[in-house]
Amino acid sequence: MDAVLRPVTDTDPTATEDNKLPNRPSRAEAEAAARVLLHWIGDDPEREGLLDTPKRVVKAYEDLFSGYKEDPREHMERTFEEVGGYNDIVLLKDISFTSFCEHHVLPFTGKAHIAYYPNHAVVGLSKIARVVDIFARRLQTQEHLTVQISTAIEKYLAPRGVAVMIEAEHQCMSMRGIQKQGVSTLTNRFSGAFENDASEQVRFMTMVRS
């Protein structure tokens, strides 16, 4: 099955690259900021166990928030048209992810379920999961994450419809504030063939829960 590269001239407006961040702090400044926070919480950043912690924190942030340096277009533009006439739902269930709440910078973890109706072509299954990771590895709200994933698939794959369901547990709710454990938040977004057809939404939900 030969891949088809679909040219897309514009890039994702939510992608953040180094050259789009004027006056971005240096690594040394980021490490100094982490050191200040350690001092602020009441610990001694000069004690043995914390000497290298600012460096570790900055390195961890590079990994946890690597989505700012990636563009989902690069993963969605290569599609496959030799699918034997297949035009029914393509569903990926239980795509695990970890993201961080933009309000408290605390993690929320969960699973994404994504379906689309192909329009002449499909995309590699791992690319859908990659799109989830790209947006999850940014400061987020679950609602915005749901919309970003759906919008990227709509924009770069141009399917006949997209359905996205995300269910997640937020540590900003379980670790602080009201401190309620095990509360799951569910968000959905439907477009195209799914948007105005309740039977298609039910079919999607049934397939996810089966």
Give me 9's structure tokens: 């001239």
Catalytic one of 101, 144, 169, 201: 101
Catalytic: 170? yes
Catalytic: 120? no
Report whether 96 contacts 136 (CB < 8 A): no
Catalytic one of 113, 140, 170, 200: 170
Catalytic one of 74, 154, 172, 201: 172
Catalytic one of 102, 120, 143, 195: 102
Q: How far is CA 117 from CA 61, 97, 99, in A?
A: 36, 23, 27
Catalytic: 172? yes
Catalytic one of 74, 104, 144, 169: 104
75 annotated ligand binder: no
Catalytic one of 103, 120, 143, 195: 103
39 annotated ligand binder: no
120 annotated ligand binder: no
Catalytic: 75? no
**What dihedral do alpha carbons 150, 152, 153, 158 form, nearest 10°?**
120
Q: What does DSSP say about strands 78-80 and 122-123: parallel, antiparallel, or unpaired?
A: antiparallel
* Rounded Cα–Cα distance for residues 83 and 201 (Å): 24
Catalytic: 179? no
- For the chain, give the longest Cα–Cα distance: 65
Catalytic one of 113, 140, 142, 148: 142
| Interacting residues of 152 by C-beta distance below 8 A, sequence separation 6+ | 12, 72, 73, 76, 131, 135
User: 64 phi and psi, to 5 degrees?
Assistant: -65, -30
Annotated binding-site residue numbers: 101, 104, 172
Which amino acids are annotated catalytic? 101-104, 142, 170, 172
Binding residues for Zn(2+): 101, 104, 172
